[in-house]
């Protein structure tokens, strides 16, 4: 994704008592990948939602999408990831 988990934590203002877990992963490959082709990967945060759980308390789910494009600019794959940031009250 080009960004460390620590960098992602800074983007979502992760506090010193907060923790992070990997959430979900979805891969959609729409065309075969070929040897000796150069691909471009772009990423974007698409959603941040706050939830309140009985056990975990307050947590945010951060979703981002990576898009893989071929030399012609056609999308060949997308990878959707989510991370769960558990917020601890200070």
Q: Cα dist. 1→40, 45, 59 in Å?
A: 12, 11, 22
**What digits encode the pLDDT tens for the residues 12-53?**
888 888 889 999 999 999 999 999 999 999 999 999 999 998
Give the side-chain half-sphere CA count within 13 A for 50: 4
Closest CA to 48 of 16, 77, 9, 17: 9
Cβ proximity of 20 and 81 under 8 Å: no
Write the DSSP symbol of residue 90: -
**What digits encode the pLDDT tens for the residues 2-12?**
678 888 888 88
* Fold entry, domain 5-86: Thiol Ester Dehydrase; Chain A (3.10.129)
Q: Residue 65 pLDDT more than 80? A: yes
**Residue 85 backbone dihedrals phi, psi, to 5 degrees:** -105, 110
């Amino acid at each position: 994704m080009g960004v460390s988990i620590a960098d992602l934590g800074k983007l979502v203002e992760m506090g010193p008592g907060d923790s992070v877990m990997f959430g979900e992963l979805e891969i959609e490959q729409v065309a075969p990948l070929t040897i000796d082709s150069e691909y471009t990967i772009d990423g974007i945060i698409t959603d941040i939602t706050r939830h309140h759980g009985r056990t975990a308390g307050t947590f945010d789910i951060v979703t981002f999408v990576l898009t893989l494009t071929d030399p012609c600019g056609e999308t060949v794959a997308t990878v959707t990831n989510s991370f769960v940031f558990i917020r601890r009250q200070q």
